[in-house]
Structure 1
């Protein structure tokens, strides 16, 4: 299954066979207190690629589907307000002017506030408990929207929705980092983040189907959307308490050898670390945030989220402005195709990223297509051209979610720093979502030059920042090559070395 450099000669040692010796070495490498790398960050373990592939496939089957389905309804419960708007939400709640933007903003206020605390709780209590609990919370909140009768009540429910949804994306990304290598993580994140564009598609389909009914019990019109989707989410959350395995050590579906391999291979990429799940300390928490590439990537995700959340909340409105004479159900259905195409590229781009073990260059390449889409929005009033523009933006922007989360996870060492880096990325992303709620204003329609211009500016700045960051990473890596590692680490204890994070002299940025 695996060999340790210099310890396995391919012969029996005493009465221990080669296979038994390899298994013993693998379990040793997975134990707490044993470093998986040497002082220069080189893995001391050589893994059997066939065994790794089999294990990875097994983890994919047991872990990814649950996470993906939960995130699908997380995003549906967040974005279904756009579908409800088309079905009469504003009129029934007596909303005027920019009240809709206020309602959207309330969600992101709580979302920003609870991002980091939620992910620290995820590390402390374990994602196997925290993620299902959050899911149950936002399912109940979504259900509550079916029974609000004025704007203040709706704002209160949306605030609670933000509290519970805040930890979902960073928590799931952190959860997957317990199971996958750095290069593998981006594709697995994409397999649940792809549910964001699919949520737009499914949300439109569910909304159009539900709205064909006259009522469900005493619930009518747009309220039925929240009722149905909230009940589904609650049911899924209860199931996930059973199906979501917290970490490899607690996986009853893994053999002891597979557990050891799962732990050892993740540990082998943690520079100078002796444990996979370390104890949190202030230095690691701080360096998980105060990291040049983490901050740069988080700002990129902020810019990207202006577009992503703008599409989620305003695509139905944009479609309505393009096809004003279509029925409500037809408008709902027209929001589906751009999301389906976006979902396909959401998987393809991270798949290429995984195979090449590159993330930064793919973030750079997404920007021009997004820019093209918003140039089309600004340059033409033709309905077909504008509808085509939604495809260009959907194709490119959704992939950045997986790429940026994988990138910030790759630029830190310890489990503690990783939980903070992912939460930081999502906090910045939430700020982008907050900006998005004010990007399409009622008095700016039907062409929305301000909203489209803002998105063009954001995607252009994204292109500049990602390119500059890539150049800086390469330059800093060249600088680090000249350092004397032994001299830099002289006099430091193992605990101090483990706490160095990206300041470790042998650390290299991973573009």
Structure 2
């Protein structure tokens, strides 16, 4: 049985338990997984301990059934968004007669819808259930990608990119929210990394795939850059159809889990959520606002905004930057030169969250990443040597890409209810995409080939990320000390169970997880 007998070291509520320790046996797992049952005392301490071996088996099973599908969906989500950079090298802007800042306008229109629909899409994901929402939205942005292959004017391209932004808005926060239904707080960052790593891999794989596609003479009636959008969109549609069959909405509906495993999956989530009696609550305005306006959510979201200026800027402009470094290389060679920095970035995208899982800390890595980005942009600004600048892209990718997993895990870990978690993740990604919108104007054609404005802006955002991360870390530790001095019994006196749950992170028994 998943829960070890007789290993309760928790002092339950003194009024309810008259000062006695309660020993919980393995047979009580079902009780604490059930509706209306809490798995913590009012001080936020778990009422039981888990069999580590049983947890490990369950975690491995979840990894196997959940992560491959969401990773593939996010890979092509990012490819369908960023392949416009590869298409530009193949003549996208020339064929559409884009001049001046037209290309930046086409990039920006995507982020307008992407930002507006971020939180609504994540609430829709909660309402529909991720098992239905994620495949549906993937199918729709796959269709949008195919439609891009048939545009002939800037207005058509802008319209399709706006629609693409609507359907992609729910993917990053939706998957993060989905996985938060399954994994403990300490486990979440690493699992998010295993799909968010597809962003840098999309940069690498997208360059390889675009190079391979461009070697074809045609795809039906389509040629050149149009084949990139069409072929990659068709693959996305195929993946969406398969995911309708493979995604499981939540532990209770997982046919591949035994009843004991379902109970364990639910009980271990409850054991980390003070005052929680339902893992999946109904959408509630109070908890929704708790998720959006948590100080940790807002601070982390702004950090993610700053980081995304770099991440999205690399995605859209790496091919252009490589072209300025290697102007005499062939288009295929330029595409291939975009691959290695993304591979190195992917390694750090997994490494930092893996260490955060083992140490159950995220803030140290918030502080470790920015100096790498700062060093890279200083190299860009200080040197005009092509090899030095190409080396700088490796440092930038190493420091920047891990923030996607770390920030989403951080806001998820620092709220209590499912509704607040959905809102917090949506807020974080919405802010991040504001950074993406800024990035579309960071590397201007008038600033080529040295891009002093873009590199200077990114140096500034990386520096501010370091400062804010250090400040947030210090504040969380100080506030936790204040919470430890609070009389929980007095603070919660007279409140009903529903009122206590509505407190969410304002519950004095709740502790921030740096």
TM more than 0.5: yes
Distance 1:487 1:315, change over 3 A: same
Counterparts of residues 253-402 of structure 1 (less than 5 Å): 253-402=256-405
In the alignment, the residues of structure 2 paired with residue 6 and residue 373 of structure 1 have an alpha-carbon distance, to the nearest angstrom, of 51
Query: Do 2:6 and 2:25's aligned partners in 1 also have CA atoms closer than 8 Å?
Result: no
Q: Which string of whole-angstrom CA distances, capped at 9 and with x for unpartnered residues, describes residues 392-430 of structure 1?
A: 001110001100000000110000000000000000001
- Match for residue 72 of structure 2? 69
- Match for residue 419 of structure 1? 422
In the alignment, the residues of structure 2 paired with residue 23 and residue 223 of structure 1 have an alpha-carbon distance, to the nearest angstrom, of 59
Query: Do 2:182 and 2:269's aligned partners in 1 also have CA atoms closer than 8 Å?
Result: yes
In the alignment, the residues of structure 2 paired with residue 71 and residue 121 of structure 1 have an alpha-carbon distance, to the nearest angstrom, of 18
Distance 1:195 1:304, change over 3 A: same
- Match for residue 21 of structure 2? none
Counterparts of residues 168-207 of structure 1 (less than 5 Å): 168-207=171-210
Q: Which string of whole-angstrom CA distances, capped at 9 and with x for unpartnered residues, describes residues 478-507 of structure 1?
A: 111111111100110000001101110111
Q: Which string of whole-angstrom CA distances, capped at 9 and with x for unpartnered residues, describes residues 134-187 of structure 1?
A: 100110000111000000000010001100110001000000000000000000
Counterpart pick for 1:32 among 30, 35, 39: 35
Counterparts of residues 67-216 of structure 1 (less than 5 Å): 67-216=70-219
Query: Do 2:352 and 2:402's aligned partners in 1 also have CA atoms closer than 8 Å?
Result: yes
- Match for residue 54 of structure 1? 57
In the alignment, the residues of structure 1 paired with residue 347 and residue 492 of structure 2 have an alpha-carbon distance, to the nearest angstrom, of 46
Shift of residue 3, structure 1, vs aligned partner: 3.8
TM-score normalised by the chain length of structure 1: 0.96
Does 1:501 pair with 2:504?
yes
Shift of residue 45, structure 1, vs aligned partner: 2.2
In the alignment, the residues of structure 1 paired with residue 208 and residue 131 of structure 2 have an alpha-carbon distance, to the nearest angstrom, of 31
- Match for residue 14 of structure 2? none
Other structure's SS at 2:49 match: strand
- Match for residue 222 of structure 2? 219
- Match for residue 2 of structure 1? 3
Query: Do 1:346 and 1:398's aligned partners in 2 also have CA atoms closer than 8 Å?
Result: yes
Query: Do 2:8 and 2:49's aligned partners in 1 also have CA atoms closer than 8 Å?
Result: no
In the alignment, the residues of structure 1 paired with residue 7 and residue 145 of structure 2 have an alpha-carbon distance, to the nearest angstrom, of 57
In the alignment, the residues of structure 1 paired with residue 48 and residue 264 of structure 2 have an alpha-carbon distance, to the nearest angstrom, of 10
**Unpaired stretches in structure 2, ≥5 consecutive residues:** 10-23
**Unpaired stretches in structure 1, ≥5 consecutive residues:** 9-20
Other structure's SS at 1:147 match: coil
Query: Do 2:353 and 2:406's aligned partners in 1 also have CA atoms closer than 8 Å?
Result: yes
- Match for residue 249 of structure 1? 252
Q: Which string of whole-angstrom CA distances, capped at 9 and with x for unpartnered residues, describes residues 211-248 of structure 1?
A: 11121111001000001100000000000000000000
Other structure's SS at 2:100 match: coil
Shift of residue 4, structure 1, vs aligned partner: 6.5
- Match for residue 482 of structure 1? 485
For the aligned residue pairs, the C-alpha RMSD in angstroms reads: 1.1
In the alignment, the residues of structure 1 paired with residue 220 and residue 502 of structure 2 have an alpha-carbon distance, to the nearest angstrom, of 58
In the alignment, the residues of structure 2 paired with residue 86 and residue 508 of structure 1 have an alpha-carbon distance, to the nearest angstrom, of 50
- Match for residue 469 of structure 1? 472
Query: Do 1:4 and 1:25's aligned partners in 2 also have CA atoms closer than 8 Å?
Result: no
In the alignment, the residues of structure 2 paired with residue 23 and residue 48 of structure 1 have an alpha-carbon distance, to the nearest angstrom, of 9
TM-score normalised by the chain length of structure 2: 0.96
Shift of residue 198, structure 1, vs aligned partner: 0.2
